[in-house]
Amino acid sequence: MALTPDIDYREMEKSVELSEIQHGGDDEFLTLNMGPHHPATHGVLRLLTTLEGEVVRDVKPIIGYVHTGIEKTCEDKAYWKVIPIVERMDYLSYYFNALAFCGAVETLLEVDVPPRAQYLRVIHLELNRIASHLIWLATGGLDLGAMSVFWYGWRDRDQILDLFEMSSGQRMHTRYFQVGGVMEDIPSGFEAAVRRFTSGFPTRLDQFEDLIDKNEIVLQRLRNVAAVDEQTLLGLGVTGPLLRATGNPFDLRKAAPYCSYDHFDFKIPVGTVGDNYDRYRVRMAEMRESLKIVEQALDGLPEGAYITENRKIALPPRHELATSMEALIHHFKLVTEGFRVPPGEVYYPIESPRGELGCFVRSDGSAKPARVHMRDPSFVNLQAFKPMVQDLYIADLIATLAMLDPILGGIDR
Amino acid sequence: MPDATGLELIAGELRDADAEAVLGTLHFRGRATLLVHPDAVVGTLEHLRGRGFNFLASVHGVDYFPEEPRLGVMYEMLDMRTVDRISVKTRVHTEHPHVPSVTPGWPTADLQEREVYDMFGVIFSGHPDLRRSHMPEDYEGHPQRRDFPIGGEPVLYTHNEPRREPE
């Protein structure tokens, strides 16, 4: 391969076929490139738009600008070393990526996760869901011109990152979930800190709603904009808040409970018409439900082990290394080679903040996965962008992209 | 998940329609898989749609190197009412990696099939716009294949950039 490939960018542009647009002979179209470096595309998404005046007639998302080959890298790592890399796919919902992968490997290994670990996972997952929705709210607010919402969103998300730092030492990409459980037990004071957050956050949500729920500009920008019906979305494979905004209550936490979600009492917020306003309201309501789940998980947090006792999979406790030869051998084997996983293929779907996040893992019996594939909801949901924004103003395209909430790290992987 | 009998029942129905369609069934860790002939993919998915599996959740590519046929394409089907899943798998050789596209019937497969084409080189005949999804258009090879090396990418810095001769 040549070091400087001779690329004719004009030629490459031509190879992207824009769809046939029905129009009268006098119409003039403008092809406008937006991105990949555009603040309103929420990452490095490139949109090739065809405009008639200010109206979007066609849009083609072009992706791959942050493709880092994570799935390929996974095939070169031991199973437990894959966790930190898959967390970097969808960089706002790292706990979900880790759970999808760990869940798939646990299914292959047929290992049971202790109840305490499951509850700890739920606490972190739901806090992460709130943090992810807060970024959506902050950046979405920015796209609508609500600058203060932007700062408030980041401020509250920072409190959640403080909690993550407390339990795992990291604010993002925490590597807290491990195959068979979680990395370590929560520190003393964590529960009180989470409760401080959960008791204060509903007031924050009220403030957000006071700020934008009845704001005339926000209502005009969101209501009855970019509504797509349920059947079209289902055909396009859309899941998550976008689908629930149309009134379809499909949520894997309720539909196919994993990680002991069936122990908790929570509701699935749904919309009615599936426009941008419904998408906004569904996510706002989801944050309140997540808070309820976190509180219930703290109330019912069981005692016991936080990771499986199976020493072929989980590292032995630190203090055993000094006294037990066997623990030392297990530690050495796990750190050098990792654990071997029985051959087979599994698909493990969970409900991420953006929809169905499924992890497909194929094992060939060795200590490294033979294939890791993430069915990332942002990647699939992005296909619904064109039906949403066709024949809208270009300003609504920005607002709709914000309400679609794509994360380019997850799309490109 | 359909249990082992339910899976055999579906396989039997497909075999009644086309004796060559189903090559095998697998029930593993609660996951039901139908191994079908590449030509039968579209028909199988349509049949499953009739059985309630009307949501195509995901399309994955897999490379089974060094087994033959090497490339695999997997379709994860979901029935949202009963929350039931079944996966359909097909295998093709690298010499003739053609699988009929399911995009006309399942719009969600558009981007996902492009990804499988990009990463594994499976050609989906009948796909309306089969371009690379992630890699640059002039990229050579299909990086997710098992025999594609890791770290083979030249990284361009100023010190290894070919020097331009002064005029």
d(CA A48, CA A13) in angstroms, rounded, equals 9
**Buried-state track A285-301, b at ≥16 Cβ within 10 A, e below 16:** bbbbbbbbbbbbbbeeb
Rounded (5°) CA angle A159-A161-A165? 115
Sequence-distant (≥ 6) Cβ neighbours of residue A2 within 8 angstroms = none
Please state the pTM of the whole predicted model. 0.90
Domain boundaries, chain A: 70-308+342-379
Torsion angle defined by CA atoms of residues A341, A344, A345 and A349, in that order, rounded to the nearest 10 degrees: -50
Q: With left for phi above 0 and alpha for psi between -120 and 50, is residue B112 left, alpha or beta?
A: alpha
Report the topology of domain B4-125: Beta Polymerase; domain 2 (3.30.460)
**Lowest-pLDDT range of A123-137, A232-246, B5-19, B127-141:** B5-19
A345–B33 C-beta distance less than 8 A: yes
Can you give the length of chain B in residues? 167
Confidence band, pLDDT 50/70/90 cuts, at residue B100: very high
Give the DSSP H or E segment for A345.
strand A344-352
Chain A residues closer than 8 Å to B115 by CB: 379
Whether pLDDT at B107 is above 70: yes
Q: Which residues of chain B are within 8 Å of residue A262 when distances are taken between CB atoms?
A: none
Q: What percent of chain A stands above pLDDT 90?
A: 52
What's the pLDDT at A120?
93
Is residue A159 pLDDT above 50, yes or no? yes
For A44-107, the DSSP string reads: S-EEEEEEETTEEEEEEEE--TT---HHHHHTTS-HHHHHHHHTTSSTT-HHHHHHHHHHHHHH
The pair phi, psi for residue A237, each rounded to 5°, is 80, 20
The yes-or-no verdict on residue A153 having pLDDT over 60 is yes
* Nearest beta carbon to residue B134 from set A64, A234, A380: A64
Q: Which helix (H) or strand (E) holds A372?
A: strand A369-375
Residue B108: is its pLDDT beyond 60?
A: yes
How far apart are the C-alpha atoms of A118 and A263, rounded to whole Å? 11
Searching chain B, which residue's CA lies closest to the CA of residue A349? B57
Confidence band, pLDDT 50/70/90 cuts, at residue B162 = low
Nearest to A16, CA basis, from A48, A58, A41: A48
pLDDT of residue B66: 85
Helix residue spans in A213-244 (DSSP H): 216-222, 230-235, 241-244
Q: Nearest CB to B76: which of A1, A344, A358?
A: A358
Give the residue ranges of DSSP H helices in A110-146: 115-143
Asked if the model's pLDDT at residue B160 lies above 70, the reply is no
Residue A86 has pLDDT above 90, yes or no: yes
Asked whether the predicted pLDDT for residue A48 surpasses 60, the reply is yes
- Alpha helices, H only, A144-189: 147-168
Residue with tokens 């920008």: A221
The size of the A-B interface in CB pairs under 8 A is 118
Quickly state the pLDDT bin for A146 (edges 50, 70, 90): confident
Q: What ranges make up the beta strands (E) of B52-159?
A: 55-63, 71-79, 84-92, 98-100, 123-125
In the predicted model, what is the mean pLDDT of residues B108-132? 90
**pLDDT band with cut points at 50, 70 and 90 for residue A217:** confident
Please state, in angstroms and rounded to a whole number, the distance separating the CA atoms of residues A398 and A144. 8
Nearest CA in chain B to A108: B29
Alpha-carbon gap, residue B44 to B22, rounded angstroms: 9
Q: What is the pLDDT of residue B88?
A: 92
Yes or no, beta carbons of A375 and B76 under 8 Å apart: yes
Q: Identify the pLDDT of residue A154.
A: 92
Q: What is the mean pLDDT of residues A363-384?
A: 92
pLDDT of residue B30: 82
Contacts of A132 (CB under 8 A, 6+ apart): A92, A93, A353, A354
Residues of B numbered 93-122 whose beta carbons fall under 8 angstroms of chain A's beta carbons: which are they?
106-108, 110-112, 115, 119
- How many other CB atoms sit within 10 Å of the CB of residue A37? 10
Instruction: Please report how the helices A147-168 and A190-212 are oriented relative to each other, as an axis angle in degrees rounded to 10.
Output: 170
pLDDT at A329: 92
Q: Is the model's pLDDT at A122 over the cut of 70?
A: yes
List the single residue in A235, A237, A413 with the smallest CB-CB distance to B57.
Answer: A237
Check if the beta carbon of residue A32 is closer than 8 Å to that of residue B154: no
The confidence score (pLDDT) of residue A310 equals: 87
Sheet holding B55-63, edge to edge: B22-28, B31-36, B84-92, B71-79, B55-63
The pLDDT value given to residue A2: 43
Closest residue to B57, CB basis, from A67, A69, A375: A375
Distance from C-alpha of A41 to C-alpha of A46, rounded to nearest angstrom? 8
Q: Is the pLDDT of residue A255 over 80?
A: yes
Band (pLDDT 50/70/90 cuts) for residue B167 is low
How does pLDDT run across A9-44, given as a tens digit for each residue?
556 566 666 667 776 667 778 888 887 887 777 778
Minimal CA–CA distance to A168: which of A186, A180, A181, A195? A186
Q: Cα–Cα distance between A344 and A105 in angstroms, integer?
A: 10
The residue-averaged pLDDT of B82-89 equals: 89
Cβ pair B162:A7 closer than 8 A: no
Sequence-distant (6+) residues with CB within 8 A of B10 are: B2, B34, B47, B48, B51, B86
B54 CB within 8 Å of a chain A CB: yes
Is residue A166 over pLDDT 50?
Answer: yes
- Domain extents in chain B: 4-125
CA B24 to chain centre: 17
Rounded CA separation B37/B19 (Å) = 11
Question: CB under 8 Å to A100, separation ≥6 — which residues?
Answer: A86, A348, A349, A350, A352, A357, A358, A359, A374
Chain segment A323-366, per-residue pLDDT in tens: 999 999 999 999 998 899 999 999 999 999 999 999 999 999 89
Of residues B1 and A71, which shows the higher confidence score?
A: A71
> What sign has the CA pseudo-torsion A159, A205, A258, A363?
negative
Token digits of residue A124 = 């972190």
More confident residue, B14 or B106: B106
Look at residue A9 in the predicted model and tell me its pLDDT.
55
Residue A15: predicted pLDDT: 66
CATH topology of domain A70-308+342-379: Cytochrome-c3 Hydrogenase; chain B (1.10.645)
- CB pair distance less than 8 Å for A349 and B63: no
pLDDT for the residue numbered A311: 85
Q: What was the pLDDT predicted at A3?
A: 45
Q: Where are the alpha helices (DSSP H) in B75-163?
A: 109-120
pLDDT beyond 80 at A181: yes
